[in-house]
Amino acid sequence: MYCRKCGAKLSDTAKFCDSCGEAVVVVKQRSDAQKYAQRNEEQKAKKEKAERKKRKREKKLDDLKNPYVIPAIGTAILAFGLGIFPWPSSWGVGTSLWMRILIFVIALLSDYHCTKSRQVNRLYNIQYRYQVKPKVVTTATVLAGVTTVVALFALVTM
């Protein structure tokens, strides 16, 4: 090893040059193969970090649930089923006022749940670019809307 300032020969453990007093700076030299190996390791580390981030995001998306989807479709089917069920005339239930009101209230409840499920899906779409069962929500919305209109018509035309 030699001094960078005066060129005097130095021992391997020297901290300062014996001739000029300059501080010894040890520079590690790397071959091109070592540089490329380090660069490849850095690229692999970046890829692994990106993969971990992607897996974490996918796990987060798997955990997302829309709590309004099941009540929306359930109440829509219930209201629609009560509205089209062929009640026996001996029961006197199908044309009664309280039954029409019940069907209308359940249809309104279904409309509420459909609206909330669409709002939650819109929020998930904004935050994560992901929606929870959008076709089921659309089906429930159409079914609830039709049932509400028919139930309201049945109430008004009594």
pLDDT top residue among 3 and 113: 113
Percent of the chain's residues with pLDDT above 90: 28
In whole angstroms, what is the distance from residue 121 CA to residue 69 CA? Answer: 10
pLDDT tens digits for 15-28? 888 888 888 887 77
| Weakest mean pLDDT among 22-26, 59-63, 88-92, 109-113 | 88-92
In whole angstroms, what is the distance from residue 72 CA to residue 109 CA? Answer: 8
Residues 6+ apart with CB under 8 A from 148: 79, 104, 107, 108, 110, 111
Which whole-number Å values give the CA distances from 32 to 37, 38, 109, in the listed order?
Answer: 8, 10, 71
Residue reference for tokens 């109440």: 75
